[in-house]
Chains A and B, each alone.
Chain A
Amino acid sequence: MVSFPLGAQNLAVAEVPPRSSPADRDEALLLSLVERIRQNDVTAFERLYHLTREDAARTLFHLVGRRADVEDLLQETYLRLLKSVRSFRGESRFRTFLYRVCANVALSHLRWKRRRPEDVLDEMPDQVSPAVGPDDEAFRRQAARLVEAALEGLTAKKRIVFVYHELCGMGPEEIAAAVGTSPNTVRSRLHHARLEFHAAMQSLLAAPQAKGGAK
């Protein structure tokens, strides 16, 4: 047995097999929770939520941006997950399955929002300050707004592929599993998404300078 200090001091934790990677342990734990959820164990669902909620929130935020409350999207994601998890048979890693649910939620939201466009440029920073570096908090926040604005021009499907690859670090195969398409389709969407995103970003980066030059 392994015991942990602090608040977990009373948790009984069985030893994990040697040489298993953290990712494998994570997957094994999630799969065991899925099995318990199938048996209607709400405590398993709670644990699964807590183990994955930050991952899901980050993914949803990148997919949808600030246009929606992440909290609302999380609720929808986990309700969908709860509904579909019973049919999950381990065809992919569980987190990939979760990303797929996130993608579906985001897709619905993005399509809905496309009918109600909002001008995210209202809150655009004037420009990315050259005085700060990539490690600077202000730079990062400015960058986040620019990225969000640049993503607006992408279709929902391209946006999802682009975000999963560029911001979530997923490879084409995993993305393909998450969005239910082929890796080649993912590569194609990613190629076009990069071109469109880059063009949009260059426009955004140039706009403040042009505005300043006109003054």
Chain B
Amino acid sequence: MSCPNDATLWSFLEGGLDAADRAAIDDHLSGCPACQASLQRVQATRAVLRGAGAVPVEVDWRRADEAVPGAATVRFARSARWRVPVWGLTAALVAAGVALMVWAPWATHPVSPDAPVLSGAVVESLGGGSTLRSATNEPLALVEGAGVPGGATLSTAATAPTVLRLPEQSRARLAPQSSASILRATKEEIALRLQSGTVTVKAAHVPRKEFLVDAEAAQVRVVGTAFRVRRDPDRVIVTVAEGRVLVEPKDGPGRLIDAGHTVAITSDGTWAQDALDAQWDDTSDFDALGVALARAVPEPKDATPAVAIAEPPRRERPHVPPARPASDQPPAAALTTPDIPATPPVPDTAPAPPEPAPAAATASAATDAVPTTAEALFLARAQAALKTGRCQNYQLGLQDVVEGSEDRNAREIAQILRARCFDDQLEPAAALREYRKYLERFPNGRFAAEAHKALGD
């Protein structure tokens, strides 16, 4: 046979040839020094390749684990909206921020599809007659000091409560004749689902990403507090003993509820006008958790979700090049950016560009505002990332918000953040492009002056 080429020798070394071809090459090699040398060279190439394949890939998982869920949350939230769920439980969980949690290293454990979540909850005190069922509805042993599996549902009997200690030292007391599932319980994230009855929570004062009690008609999000959620067939009642919680009906804006207040949400997700003083008649559950009670005028504070965007990072020099007259280049002072005032999101149904001017922004609107929707949370994180030079991880998500959000305010903020981010990343052409897009979409927007300045208008 004639001398085989290097690719054939590669296949020969790989064992990819059939027996006849292999034998023929063996024969040829034995009498051809040139091909023996070629074979050695191919061997050397393959050895380098194998060496390269053994190099561990260095990934900043902390960064990746922050960036991927942040962007995915926005997608999920939008998808959830499209589905317009009547009860929207899963979608609401998504949109409300469950995805902002720490990503526990489950991947290293051979878990089944039926073990959906991680739980570090432990039974602190066990009420007689309580039962525990797994996510697959199998009965599980329930003893004091034992862990509660993720996805499991705890049900109490008619006479005694059961208290769970959560991983970050919060405590949850499930009243008699109640039932709740542990959706997730890690040091960084707690998510409980109340099926029926009452759960009283004393949240530990520790940093965490989320503490959520889902009662279907409403979700209660902990700001740092002690509270009770009672789920009746026709309504959900939230009583706040300490601190503050964010209560979100399934389809409406949330309200921040301060200590001493009680609110109710009907099963269709609307705020009820019930007389709720009776909720304070029996506070033994709070007492059991060592909560000092506060009582105030029972008028919930309206806290329409808002995105509090702070001042963008100041730079020592403008990244976008200075403008010349009759050109696209902006002046040297182009990026002296003002603060982004916080403004409640403005739901709109007319996204056709250019968009109308937003409702007047007031500084006071953000005083008590916290981001509540997934988009708002995402934008807040993107803003924070801009300060730390990591905003590039959010650009895709910001683009998603710009293109698909139903919230005009979110779109506007996302657009300006994209421009600032490109500028921060020393990509002036992209920054200018985004500033132009901003002006096309929001000619009278709150950041129009900043955009004009950047563009040298």
Residues of A within 8 A of B (CB): 1, 4, 7-14, 16, 25, 28-29, 32-33, 39-47, 49-54, 57-58, 61-62, 70-72, 74-76, 78-79, 82-83, 128, 134, 139-144, 146-148, 166-167, 191-192, 194-195, 197-199, 201-202, 205
Q: Tell which of A16, A78, A142 has the most Cβ of chain B within 10 Å.
A: A78
Chain A proximity of B241: nearest CB distance (Å)? 28
Q: Flag if A11 contacts B118 (CB, 8 Å).
A: yes
Residues of chain A within 8 A of B119, CB atoms compared: 10-11
Known pairs A10-B118, A10-B149; A46 contacts B99 (CB<8 A): yes
Known pairs A143-B51, A144-B51; A198 contacts B136 (CB<8 A): no
A38 to B177, CA, bound (A): 34
Known pairs A40-B90, A46-B69, A140-B51; A11 contacts B115 (CB<8 A): yes
Which of A12, A58, A75, A147 is the one whose CB lies under 8 Å from B67?
A75
Q: Flag if B107 contacts A10 (CB, 8 Å).
A: no
A69 to B234, CA, bound (A): 52
Known pairs A28-B113, A50-B105, A79-B75; A42 contacts B98 (CB<8 A): yes
Q: Flag if A4 contacts B109 (CB, 8 Å).
A: yes
Which of B55, B109, B135, B148 is the one whose CB lies under 8 Å from A8?
B109
A177 to B61, CA, bound (A): 29
Chain A proximity of B49: nearest CB distance (Å)? 6
Number of chain B residues close to chain A: CB under 8 A: 78
A76 to B397, CA, bound (A): 10
Chain A proximity of B34: nearest CB distance (Å)? 15
B439 located at the interface, meaning its Cβ lies under 8 Å from any Cβ of chain A in the complex:
no
Residues of chain A within 8 A of B59, CB atoms compared: 54, 57, 61, 70-71, 74
B10 located at the interface, meaning its Cβ lies under 8 Å from any Cβ of chain A in the complex:
yes
Q: Flag if B106 contacts A50 (CB, 8 Å).
A: yes
Q: Flag if A10 contacts B50 (CB, 8 Å).
A: no
B15 located at the interface, meaning its Cβ lies under 8 Å from any Cβ of chain A in the complex:
no
A52 to B103, CA, bound (A): 13
Known pairs A10-B120, A16-B112; A45 contacts B72 (CB<8 A): yes
Known pairs A10-B150, A195-B6; A141 contacts B55 (CB<8 A): yes
Known pairs A11-B118, A42-B76, A49-B103; A143 contacts B49 (CB<8 A): yes
B297 located at the interface, meaning its Cβ lies under 8 Å from any Cβ of chain A in the complex:
no
Which of B45, B91, B101, B136 is the one whose CB lies under 8 Å from A201?
B45
Residues of chain A within 8 A of B432, CB atoms compared: none
Query: Which residue of B has the minimal Cβ distance to A138?
Result: B51
Residues of chain B within 8 A of A33, CB atoms compared: 113
Q: Flag if B148 contacts A25 (CB, 8 Å).
A: no
Residues of B within 8 A of A (CB): 5-7, 10, 41-42, 44-45, 47-55, 57-61, 63-64, 67-69, 71-73, 75-76, 79-80, 83, 90-91, 93-94, 98-99, 101, 103-107, 109-121, 134-136, 138, 140, 147-152, 183-184, 392-393, 396-397, 400
**A-B Cβ contacts below 8 A, count:** 211
Chain B proximity of A131: nearest CB distance (Å)? 14
A158 to B417, CA, bound (A): 38
Which of A13, A140, A142, A166 is the one whose CB lies under 8 Å from B112?
A13
A113 to B217, CA, bound (A): 50
SS of A interface (majority): helix
A148 to B52, CA, bound (A): 9
A197 to B75, CA, bound (A): 40
Which of A11, A44, A78, A192 is the one whose CB lies under 8 Å from B68?
A78
Residues of chain B within 8 A of A45, CB atoms compared: 72, 76, 99
A57 to B61, CA, bound (A): 10
A44 to B99, CA, bound (A): 10
Q: Flag if A194 contacts B7 (CB, 8 Å).
A: yes
13 A–B contacts, CB within 8 A, in A order: A1-B134, A13-B114, A28-B113, A29-B111, A41-B94, A47-B106, A52-B107, A53-B61, A79-B396, A134-B50, A140-B54, A144-B51, A194-B10
Q: Flag if A146 contacts B57 (CB, 8 Å).
A: no
A39 to B76, CA, bound (A): 10
Chain B proximity of A72: nearest CB distance (Å)? 6
Q: Flag if B10 contacts A44 (CB, 8 Å).
A: no
Q: Flag if B150 contacts A42 (CB, 8 Å).
A: no
Q: Flag if A40 contacts B53 (CB, 8 Å).
A: no
Which of B45, B111, B148 is the one whose CB lies under 8 Å from A202?
B45
Q: Flag if B44 contacts A205 (CB, 8 Å).
A: yes
Residues of chain B within 8 A of A78, CB atoms compared: 68, 71-72
A44 to B94, CA, bound (A): 11
A49 to B75, CA, bound (A): 15
Query: Which residue of A has the minimal Cβ distance to B50?
Result: A134
Residues of chain A within 8 A of B184, CB atoms compared: 43
A146 to B107, CA, bound (A): 32
Residues of chain A within 8 A of B64, CB atoms compared: 53, 57, 70-71, 74-75
Q: Flag if B112 contacts A29 (CB, 8 Å).
A: yes
